[in-house]
Amino acid sequence: MIVLLPPSETKAAGGTAEPLSTASLGFPGLAVARSRALAALDRLVAAGQDVSTPAKARAAADNAAVRDAPTMPAIERYTGVLYDALGAASLDADARDWVDAHVVIQSALLGFVRASDRIPAYKVSEHTRLPGERMRELWSGAGDAIEGFALDLRSKAYAAVAPVAGAVPVEIVSPDGRALNHWNKAGKGALVRSLALAGVEAPSADALVAWAASADVPLTRAEGGLRLVVQDPRLVAAR
């Protein structure tokens, strides 16, 4: 079982591990695409980046230092609503091991990376124009690296950049069936936390739904995938 997550626009600063080594990242079949992406980022940096605000200046500095900056596990690098709700830092050892073994994050710069892969801070999204590259061409075949049952919690934009055949998407809705924005991300993070704490090993969507029913998690079958109902701002799906 693989859980696919989107990256976040915001990232933690710093790190304590050695600089980026693409050879040490998961999914070695993405090596050529990663090399192309990093070379394109070098060209973007050389051409000059927008530094008109403190946030943009920090982003430009991160991109300029991406090959030499210290790294940290991807699950700690990404921040924001989804990752706050997941709360990897507060998981016990067994749950953290589950995250490292099952969670895969889609990076616009590095393709799919495992939760434990050590990566630097950077500022590249699916909307970034990397000189000489197109995101959808760069990562169009990346989904071939994902094998087995994949629970797809990515945004539609990232799923379109790197389609994964057979991946099962999850729709996040309110109790009255309305689509959600902010709580969409929080609901996804809470669901992953629930899975990690329970140590779920589901070989299929049906098996996952069966676990959810036994654990009182509001995850059910829906047309084209699964549906998670977010009950309230405290996300009672989280355990």
Tens digit of pLDDT for each residue in 161-215?
Answer: 999 999 999 999 988 887 777 788 999 999 999 999 999 999 999 999 999 999 9
pTM of the model: 0.93
- Cross-strand partners of 226: 170, 221
And the tokens for 116? 């434990």
* DSSP state string for 16-85: SBPSP-GGGSS-GGGHHHHHHHHHHHHHHHHH----SSHHHHHHHHHHHTTTTS-BEEHHHHB-SHHHHH
Distance of CA 91 to the CA centre of its chain: 18
* pLDDT confidence of residue 170: 96
**Confidence check: pLDDT of 234 > 70:** no
**Nearest-angstrom CA–CA distance, 134 and 227:** 32
> Residue 239 falls within a domain, yes or no?
no
What tokens appear for 112 in the block?
């799919």
Per-residue pLDDT tens digits for 74-120: 999 999 999 999 999 999 999 999 999 999 999 999 999 999 999 99
Res 232: pLDDT: 54
pLDDT of residue 177: 81
Cα–Cα distance between 136 and 220 in angstroms, integer? 31
- pLDDT category at 73 given cuts 50, 70, 90 is very high
20-45 confidence digits (pLDDT tens): 999 999 999 999 999 999 999 999 99
Residue 152 lies in a domain: yes
E-strand stretches of 61-191: 72-73, 103-107, 111-114, 118-119, 150-152, 168-173
Structural domain count, the chain: 1
Any domain includes 200: yes
Residue 41, domain extent: 2-229
Q: Hey, what are 39's tokens?
A: 């070379």
- The residue among 29, 89, 100, 34 whose CA lies nearest residue 67 is 34
Report d(CA 238, CA 224) in Å as an integer: 24
pLDDT for residue 236 is more than 50 = no
Please state, in angstroms and rounded to a whole number, the distance separating the CA atoms of residues 161 and 174.
27
Coil, strand or helix at 112: strand
Is the predicted pLDDT of residue 235 greater than 50, yes or no?
Answer: no
DSSP character string of 225-236: EEEEE--STT-T
β-bridge partners, 119: 72
Mean pLDDT for the stretch of residues 47-63: 95
pLDDT band with cut points at 50, 70 and 90 for residue 67: very high
> Has residue 238 been placed in a domain?
no
Average pLDDT, the chain: 94
pLDDT at res. 239: 43
